Structure 1
């Protein structure tokens, strides 16, 4: 009996000890559970705020163009891939890498004035012209004859417009953006009595059926020559001649001739390049001064 009583007493002691130890553990577990329940809504709110501020990959995000950009295009992209400049805006330099001050897809602002064009001659030395829808480019944008032969579309504030070809230079104080139109061209935009009107204009690559012509300057020979390009659709950026050492680029004068001072390449093959980078090779042009000799080529339309 004593042994049995002793065993029962031991079992009761172990049971009380388990209860004593289990109670604090249960209290601790209950406290942790209460903390998690209270914290969970706050965590959900914080997560929701993060999602709103940072779009997940694949969510459309509109990129706004910066001020002063040539184009207003800004296409949708994703937060995962940042757009590069060539993808969000197309600059004139990528369209016409050899362009000078006058670039395609750019609108220029200025004023239009009028002058007596006479027979259509001018600083570009194209000579007389039966088409008097022509203009003199201001000294800055004329850029030492780079503007010669360019076609521009001119718009007046009243909605009238006219296409003119650049055949002359308007000297200072003609301001950048200014066009000095022939009286005939000015009359297509406004009453000639106004004398001066605000305009906008853009470079044009017009439709045309005629081909390019080449002319050697008066006095040209196999020891010295000047070469001019006439009737080109797009502005000419370069002229090269074939020499014993390959293609040689000739310098351009303010009077719109490319000069070979030592006669290299005079009377040989000629290669011309427009502002868009298109190259045309012309052969068989005789060294005949002051004669416009037609070719079979023309620059592509843009």
Structure 2
């Protein structure tokens, strides 16, 4: 049997063991608490990150309320989100074929609207006739001297930047007399719209020169002629700049084009009746001329020879 002293010793050992275990457990708990306190809170960490990603998405996403219609910027250019709209040039068929167009015969009918300017076929104009000394027949149209002085100068308004050059006009006086003249010159202000300044030779066919000024009516004429159209390059023309003129045409010329690498190019017309290629494109190449009735003639084989009249062998039809 255990003695009282042994029993007391065992009780003291158990108390020490229990106390040690308690202290150990308590220490472990404190350590665990400290460790957990030092660890980062993952829930709080993921919260801001998720919020940042959502915000980034909002910044980069296209606004759903932005209109689709084109909104011009300060320079007139549509914004990046604008819906493209075709321009007038995209919705209208080109007036001239491209360089790859099928070759055409020298004579074709224009598919565009009538190119007539102020002077229109079938229209009668009212005005007055005056007279001037035509000398050798040359004038603002720069056709050169003419052996036929049945010519006239068109008032500046109806001259229309030389569109009237070469037109044949039937002139009737109030006394019933009439004459056909060709427009070779311009009558500057104070010549009024409708006024024709006839050569003295032409005026004399209608009235005495002493009359000075007579009332007339006139209209465009498409005459009978055996002449064919000629082409002349202006003095100083080269592959880098050229002026081109049509001569001897039955009907007024409304448009002149040259063949370039990019297709047919319409040249601007000057008041002195030449069509200019300021950069030389098309100079020496094929030429296409259109009259006010819309007939189009293609001219080939014309060399770039300044101030030389070269026949085409072609002529517009009579109307």
TM-score of the pair, normalised by structure 1: 0.68
Report the counterpart of residue 263 of structure 1 in structure 2: 280
Pairing partner for 1:243 from 229, 252, 260: 260
Aligned equivalent of 1:142 = 159
Provide the residue aligned with 2:121 in structure 1.
104
1:227 to 244, 252, 275: 244
Distance in 1 (CA, whole Å) between partners of 2:214 and 2:200 is 13
In the alignment, which of 119, 125, 143 is matched to residue 126 of structure 1? Answer: 143
**In the TM superposition, what is the alpha-carbon distance from 1:99 to its structure 2 partner?**
0.5
Aligned pairs, number: 209
1:4 maps to what in 2?
A: none
Once residues 295 and 131 of structure 1 are traced to their aligned partners in structure 2, the CA distance between those partners, rounded to angstroms, is 22
The alpha carbon displacement at 1:278 in A equals: 0.5
CA deviation string 1:224-275 (max 9, x = no partner): 0000000000010100000000100000001100000010010110000001
Alpha-carbon displacement from aligned partner over 1:100-119 (angstroms, at most 9, x marks no partner)? 00001110000000000010
Deviation at 1:169, TM superposition (A): 0.2
In the TM superposition, residue 97 of structure 1 has moved relative to its aligned partner by 1.2
Matched, 1:283 2:300: yes
Gaps of 5+ in 1: 1-95
Counterpart of 1:72 in structure 2 is none
* TM-align CA RMSD: 1.3
1:296 aligns with 2:313: yes
Q: Which has the higher contact order (CA 8 A, sep 6+)?
A: 2
- Counterpart selection for 1:164 from 175, 178, 181: 181
In 2, Cα distance between equivalents of 1:224 and 1:255? 16
The structural deviation recorded for 1:295 is 1.0
Structure 1 equivalent of residue 104 of structure 2: none
Runs of 4 or more, structure 1, over 3 Å off, are none
Q: SS of the residue aligned with 2:204?
A: helix
Q: Structure 1, residues 19-72: CA drift from partner, whole Å, max 9, x if none?
A: xxxxxxxxxxxxxxxxxxxxxxxxxxxxxxxxxxxxxxxxxxxxxxxxxxxxxx
Query: Counterpart of 1:188 in 2: which secondary structure?
Result: coil
Structure 1 distance, partners of 2:160, 2:116, is: 11
**TM-score normalised to structure 2 length:** 0.65
Residue 194 (structure 1) aligned with residue 211 (structure 2) = yes
Of 94, 99, 114, the residue aligned with 2:131 is 114
C-alpha separation in 2, matches of 1:156 and 1:231: 27
Aligned to 2:196: 179
**1:167 deviation in Å?**
0.2
Q: Give the SS at the match of 2:202.
A: helix
Q: Secondary structure at the match of 2:298?
A: strand
CA distance in structure 1 between the aligned counterparts of 2:161 and 2:258, rounded to whole angstroms: 21
Q: Secondary structure at the match of 1:185?
A: helix
Residue aligning to 2:229: 212
Give the gaps of 5 or more residues in structure 2: 1-112
